[in-house]
Structure 1
Amino acid sequence: MQLTDKTALITGAAGGIGRAIAERYAREGARVAVADLDLAAAEATVAEIRANGGRAMALAMDVTDEAVVDAGVERIVAEWDGLDIAIANAGIQHIAPLHSLTFADWRKVLAVHLDGAFLVTSAALRQMYRQEHGGCLIYMGSVHSKLASPLKAPYVAAKHGLLGLCRTVAKEGAKHRVRANMICPGFVRTPLVERQIPEQAAALGISEEAVIRDVMLKDTVDGEFTTLEDIAELALHLAAFPSAALTGQSVVASHGWYMQ
């Protein structure tokens, strides 16, 4: 197993991509802290992991609340004596054209993605810098970290911003044996994406089938969604990579939607 006795914190891990990564990490021997705004859902994910022989704990975590994030990391360290991997995965979406987007909605999206990632980073680094072996930060970006799409201004801006944070962590963390990398998925059929389909259909005046075919997947090489398993596999590779040869990078998994 590739992550035997490693300790990982994953935010937004009660469902979707975060849950898929948590389950994969647990199968690879990691102790996984499943952090989510929805504690009941986090506990359900933990119960499933434990039922399959894994080790996990549930944390109620609003990633925009500094005290809550700090307390979550402190609990992980107290119970498991360290933190090896932290994944800033929590995210939300808001579909609206810029001219009618409210400042409150703009700030809400950026707060979860950017402020949340910063707070998780800060708390994780304070622990990882104390450890002789360092650690690993992984940020959940998007193809929208590289490209823009209409109606998604705050999401696109936030995902672009995560690139800068990731690269800065890679620079600052190197002397402490901390690596940082970013995953940039294409469209994965999570609840977040499922909600976008009717929203974009209404905003663009087209059918939901057309949103999938002509908006979401039109630039892929095969018209396929990226899968939860694809992203979990990539997250495992980044966490298990043995050296700083792989740090400060953004890895795109998008069925060829974006090629770099």
Structure 2
Amino acid sequence: MQLIDKSALITGAAGGIGRAIAERYAREGARVAVADLDLAAAEATVETIRRGGGQAMALAMDVTDEAAVNAGVERMVAEWGSLDIAIANAGIQHIEPVHTLSFADWRKVMAVHLDGAFLVTSAALRQMYRQHSGCMIYMGSVHSKLASPLKAPYVAAKHGLVGLCRTVAKEGAAHGVRSNLICPGFVRTPLVDRQIPEQAKALGISEEAVIRDVMLKDTIDGEFTTLEDIAEVALHLAAFPTAALTGQSMVVSHGWYMQ
């Protein structure tokens, strides 16, 4: 097991990518704090982890609430003594063209992705700097590299995470902290499933055409990226032994974007 005696905080971990990473980390020996806006769903994820023999706790966390983020980090450190890995994964989506997009909807998406990542980073780094070690991981997207129509706030936020990740890699180096970004292609999570009918309506095409001609058009095999793919990369980044791998964005997209 690659993460024995490590403590990990994962936001948005009650379902989707966050849950897949939480379960994988637990199988690798990590103690996992499952943080989510939906406490009941977080507790269900924790119960699954515990049934499998892992260690986990559920944290009610709105990542846009500074007090909630700080309290969550303080609670897990008080119980487990360290914060070795922090993953800023919480995210939302909004499908609409720029010219009709309201400022409120723009700010809502940016708040969860960018403000949330900042607050999690700030709280995590204070602890990581005290212990002189740590690993920050951000959940970007292929949209950290490319743009798509109808997703202006999401694309802007995911691009912004690249800059935050790289800055943390520079600042954290003196404190033994690494920082990297995962950039998934389309993964069949509830977030993506909701986009399919929304894009079909906005583009005036069928849902099948959205999947074939929009989402998977530029992959090498017409396949979705899987939860297991992302969890594997997250494990690799967390377990990597040196600062040779920091400030990087790892694209996992079936060839949709190649760098």
Matched, 1:4 2:4: yes
What SS does the corresponding residue of 1:193 show, helix, strand or coil?
helix
Q: Give the partner amino acid of 1:17.
A: I
Corresponding position of 1:82: 82
Matches for 1:1-260 after TM superposition, within 5 Å: 1-132=1-132, 134-260=133-259
How big is the shift at 1:40? 0.2
> For each residue in 1:83-107, what CA deviation from the matched residue of structure 2 results, as whole angstroms up to 9, or x when unmatched?
0000000000000000000000000
C-alpha deviation, 1:205, in angstroms = 0.3
What SS class does the counterpart of residue 59 from structure 2 fall into? Answer: strand
- Hey, what's the Cα distance between the residues in 2 that align with 1:198 and 1:8? 35
Secondary structure of the residue that 2:225 maps to in structure 1? coil
Q: Which amino acid aligns with 1:62?
A: D
User: Normalization by structure 2: what TM-score?
Assistant: 1.00
Deviation, structure 1 residue 111: 0.1
* Cα shift readout 1:24-59 (whole Å, capped 9, x = no counterpart): 000000000000000000000000000000000000
**Runs of 4+ deviating beyond 6 Å:** none
Long gaps (5+) in structure 2: none
Structure 1: gaps (5+ residues): none
TM score, norm. by length of structure 1: 0.99
1:91-150 deviation line (CA, Å, top 9, x unaligned): 000000000000000000000000000000000000000003x10000000000000000
The one-letter code matched in structure 2 to 1:225 is F
Percent of aligned pairs sharing the same letter: 88
Work out the CA distance in 1 between the residues paired with 2:218 and 2:210. 12
Q: Which amino acid aligns with 2:190?
A: P
For 1:186-229, what per-residue CA distance to the aligned partner results, in whole angstroms no more than 9, with x for missing partners? 00000000000000000000000000000000000000000000
What is the CA–CA distance in structure 1 between the aligned matches of 2:17 and 2:63, rounded to whole Å?
Answer: 17
CA deviation after TM superposition for structure 1 residue 5, in Å? 1.0
Q: Distance in 2 between matches of 1:82 and 1:234?
A: 23
- Give the Cα–Cα distance (whole angstroms) in 1 for the partners of residues 34 and 189 of structure 2: 17
The residue type equivalent to 1:254 in the other structure is S
Cα deviation code 1:162-189 (max 9, x no counterpart): 0000000000000000000000000000
Question: Whole-Å Cα distance in 2 between the matches of residues 152 and 73 of structure 1?
Answer: 31
For 1:215, give the aligned amino acid: V
Q: Letter of the 2:217 partner, please give it.
A: K
Partners in 1 of 2:177 and 2:162 — Cα distance? 16
1:243, distance to aligned residue in structure 2 (A): 0.3
Q: Distance in 2 between matches of 1:12 and 1:77?
A: 19
Name the SS of the counterpart of 1:129 in structure 2: helix
